[in-house]
Amino acid sequence: MIATQTSARFTVYSDALELRTADRTQFIDITQWVGESLRRSGIGSGLAQVQVLHTTASILVNENEPLLLNDFKAMLERLAPENGVYEHDDMGRREGGVAEERPNGRAHARALIGGPSTVISVLDGRAVLGRWQSVFLLELDGPRDRRVCLTVMGHEIT
C-alpha cells in the first residue's frame, strides 16, 4: 500500500486522555480513543505518537486477548517481582525522595520493557494497525490518575 499526498496542508494536532486506573497492573485498551482522536484531527496521512506522561506506565501495541494479557502479567512478575528488593524504594537513601511516596521500584523496572510511547502510521485518517493489534496503556503502579497524550503530524484530509 503506497500513498502520496502533495497538495494537502501539513498540520500538527494534539489530544489528551485523562483516566483513573483500577488495578496495580492493568492493560487498558485505548485503541478506540486513538481512532476517535485521529478522526477529530482531520489528518489524512502522517504519523501519530501516543505517549504516557508517567514513569510507572507504558504504551505498547499488542493483541487484546485475555489469556495473552495474563501471560504478560506473569512475565512482568518474573522479571521484576512484587516482593523484590529495589534500592529506589529506600526513601532514606534516595535523593529527592518524598516520605509519603509509595514504594514502586518494581513498577519503574517493569516500565523499561514497554517504554513511554509508540508511533503509529496514519493513512486515510485511520491508524494503520494489523488485524490483531491494539494500543494499550499499561498501568504498572495503580490505581492512579494517568494522562496519555496523542500528537498527530501529517497532511490534512482533502
In the predicted structure, residue 7 carries a pLDDT above the cut 60 = no
Which pLDDT does position 90 carry in this prediction? Answer: 87
Report yes or no: 86 and 106 within 8 Å, Cβ to Cβ.
Answer: yes
User: How confident is the model over 103-147, as pLDDT tens digits?
Assistant: 999 999 999 999 999 999 999 999 999 999 999 999 999 999 999
C-alpha 10/C-alpha 121 separation (Å) is 15
Q: When comparing pLDDT for 7 and 14, which is higher?
A: 14
Cα atoms in the Cβ-side hemisphere of radius 13 Å centred on 85: 0
Q: Give domain limits for the chain.
A: 10-81+104-153
Single-letter residue type at 151: T
- Could you tell me the three cell numbers for 112? 523499561
C-alpha 134/C-alpha 112 separation (Å) is 20
Q: Which residues on neighbouring strands pair with residue 119, listed in sequence order?
A: 49
Residue with cell 504519523: 47
Report yes or no: 56 and 129 within 8 Å, Cβ to Cβ.
Answer: no
Confidence of residue 6 (pLDDT cuts 50, 70, 90): low
In the predicted structure, residue 157 carries a pLDDT above the cut 90 = no
Given 3.40.50.300, 3.40.50.2300, 2.60.120.10, 2.60.120.460, which CATH number is that of 10-81+104-153? 2.60.120.460
* Average pLDDT score over residue span 87-92: 88
Kindly report the pTM of this predicted structure: 0.92
Confidence of residue 99 (pLDDT cuts 50, 70, 90): low
User: How confident is the model over 24-80, as pLDDT tens digits?
Assistant: 999 999 999 999 999 999 999 999 999 999 999 999 999 999 999 999 999 999 999
